[in-house]
Chain A
Amino acid sequence: MQLLMCAPSYYGIEYEINPWMSRARQSDRQRAQQQWNSLRRLLEEQLSVDVRLVDAQPGLPDMVFTANAGLAWKDKFIVSNFRYEVRRREAPHFEVWFRNLGFEIVHLPREYYFEGEGDLLKCGESWFAGYHIRSDINAHQKVAEIIGQEILSVELTNEWFYHLDTCFCPLSDEHVLFYPPAFDSYGLEVLEKYIPDLIPVAPEEAARFACNAIVADRDIVMNTGCPGVREKLEALGFRVFETPLDEFIKAGGSAKCLVLCMR
């Protein structure tokens, strides 16, 4: 497994684009760096993940959340069209990085917002896409054309769970962690129909970003403080690794937000 990460060298709460963010509640840069290092070490040393790094850029505090950069699909990289101006300048840096690696760069129509893997996750044969808060449904339908796969778009209705990867985590072809209040009734119906085993997460653990977990085969990495989910996962035979990521939750992100799947 190959994941892309970006060091939190310039990370901080410099603007507020989701309810978690408050400039009054700054992150501790040193602690953030330590937490990020621990996560990287855990991935590399215990899960044997091949971690690649993109250079952090001054003035782009959220570049650390590489999951939102786009979607890497085979030899293509579909670049994000960020909804908020403050994040739009991240895109060219990711684009250059992927191009240098030999990826074919694909741009979506400018009018459709798309925030990469943050709103687009694969489970079994289907892709699930979150739309309305950050990504546009039409962007996902364009992506579906590009990758030639079915994408089921579900509306995200809770501002606190503004990306699909904050409330929905495919663990295998059958099992998915999810936080039901993040979806509307149509979305829930779709999830229930297409996912054999939906595991609901309690509100307090959803707020600890239990759904924002990194899944590497049978290993799962998540923020600390989610005992309920941990128990359920272990009962299903998964190996659970907890690592503190509170500094990133201040910006509305956790483990999964900090990595982008390359293959």
Chain B
Amino acid sequence: MARSIIEISGHIIDSLILPKILDLIVNLGAEFEILDIQIGHRRADRSHARVQVEASSEELLAEVLAKIREHGALPVEGSDEPARLDAAPEDGIFPEAFYATTNLPTQVRVNGRWIEVEAPEMDCAIRVDGNAMRAETVPVHKVRKGDSIVVGHQGIKIVPLERSVPHELFEFMSSAVSTEQPKGLLIREIAETMKNVRQKNGKILVVAGPGLVHTGAAPYLVDLIERDYVQVLFAGNGLAVHDIETALYGTSLGVYLDKKIRASEGHEHHLWAINTIRKAGGIRQAVEQGIVQRGIFYSCIRKGVDFVLAGSIRDDGPLPDVITDSLKAQDLMREKVRGVSLALMMATTLHAIATGNLLPATVKTVCVDINPAVVTKLTDRGTFQAIGLVTDVEPFLRELCQCLSQELLQAHEP
């Protein structure tokens, strides 16, 4: 693929010059992506657009550039200039004016070549190894004195998302979150996507809050785990505690899930559960010792699901598996999101946002919450690829499991 960035400025909107140039690019067999556009407010104000042109060959690109130049599209000067690098002055300190990353696929110009930045993540810097010709995102606490860090915006190319994400995913969804969407259809789409991901051996990440256990939805998550639809699970202390409370006592926060009645002194159950696991040495040990015989974490251990439990300040206990050092938890989550193709975030605000911050924009992200603000918050903070379903998590998971079963049945029909 050959790429170049062009600029079009002037009265390009009212005169239809911009759409004309974009049409020309497509008609000539190339593709375009609008990188940024500023539209003048008043009639005399100029507008400005920066567009990336991509063609299958250098020859075609040259032809397209020559044609559109006649209509005012000029190549961006210096678009092939190298990225400026500066050494990190101390451990944990970036150089001044470092380039802050987005979660989009990004390329950096080093030694006359564009190289892909590994592990795209928002709000990091880019560390370059010129000898190995590698570049990767680095969070501030991981930078080491002397690391080569990109400063300024020169020599940075962001590859827009549309090209990276296959178009079959929820294309009909124009708004990221709505209470007015036909949920059945969406859930079917999600089921289809999960199936596709697994067929290609991709990883599915589930991020869940304890509400999932309180609402009685845990058996559906267990079902997904048992059917290999979950490879990574991120949660906090709460999900694990209440899941294990249910496994040990049949209650969640002291309420019997099957009878929906409060157990006598039930409020102690989750504290006893914590104590039991602490005594066993951890969740895995408790499962291996036969103390925990069912539930989400029992299945996670059984199926080898990677889970990361990140602690927070209001945690009871916590369980020994909970990582209470936030940076350590972040780093482990960062490691585990590699290779994830789909993230399913359910009934959690804190962990959904924390995970959203770490995910590349190429990871399809579904956020299910009874509160529409969660999805809005997630997208506002930069995880713009997230699509949301405003619903209670229990009916969502129930229907998702049904869809996955139906599709399996259909797939087996002659």
User: Looking at the complex, which of B11-19, B104-112, B229-237, B312-320 is the stretch in contact with chain A?
Assistant: B11-19
Q: Are A141 and B20 also in contact (CB < 8 A) when A150-B11, A194-B14 are? A: no
Contact A141 B9, CB 8 Å, known A152-B14, A186-B19, A190-B14: yes
Residues of A within 8 A of B71 (CB): 132, 137, 155
Q: Report the minimum CB–CB distance from B218 to chain A (whole Å).
A: 59
Do A150 and B43 have beta carbons less than 8 Å apart?
Answer: yes
Contact code string A90-114 (vs B, CB < 8 Å = 1, else 0): 0000000000000000000000000
Contact B44 A137 (CB under 8 A): no
One digit per residue, 1 when the CB lies within 8 angstroms of any chain B CB and 0 when it does not, for chain A 123-153 equals 0011000001000111011001100111111
* Complex CA distance for A138 and B46, rounded to whole angstroms: 12
Residues of B within 8 A of A190 (CB): 14-16
Least CB distance, B26 to chain A, in whole angstroms: 14
Q: Residues 197-239 of chain A: 1 if any B CB is under 8 Å from the residue's CB, otherwise 0?
A: 0000000000000000000000000000000000000000000
Task: For the complex, count residues of B whose C-beta is within 8 A of A.
Answer: 16
Q: A141 near B11 (CB under 8 angstroms)?
A: yes
**B11 and A153 contacting across the interface, CB-CB below 8 Å:** yes
Contact A148 to B70, CB < 8 A, known contacts A137-B17, A154-B15: no
B11–A144 CB distance below 8 A: yes
The interface size of chain A toward B, counting residues with CB under 8 Å, comes to 24
Does A152 contact B15, Cβ atoms closer than 8 Å? yes
B161–chain A nearest beta-carbon distance, Å:
29
One digit per residue, 1 when the CB lies within 8 angstroms of any chain B CB and 0 when it does not, for chain A 170-200 equals 0000000000000000110110011000000
Q: Mark B18-49, 1 if CB is under 8 A from A, else 0.
A: 01100000000000000000000001101000
**A149 pairs with B44, CB closer than 8 A:** yes
Q: Which residues of A contact B72 (CB under 8 A)?
A: 136-138, 141, 153
Contacts A145-B46, A189-B16, A190-B16 known; A152 to B70 CB distance under 8 Å?
Answer: no
Which residues of A approach B to under 8 Å, CB–CB?
A: 125-126, 132, 136-138, 140-141, 144-145, 148-155, 186-187, 189-190, 193-194
Chain B residues at the A interface, C-beta cutoff of 8 Å? 9-11, 14-17, 19-20, 43-44, 46, 70-72, 74
Q: Can you pick out 20 interface pairs between chain A and chain B where the beta carbons lie within 8 Å of each other?
A: A126-B43, A136-B72, A137-B10, A137-B72, A138-B74, A141-B11, A144-B10, A144-B46, A150-B11, A150-B43, A150-B44, A151-B15, A152-B14, A152-B15, A153-B11, A155-B20, A186-B16, A187-B16, A189-B16, A193-B14
> What 5 A-B pairs are tightest by C-beta distance, nearest first?
A141-B10, A137-B72, A152-B15, A186-B16, A150-B43
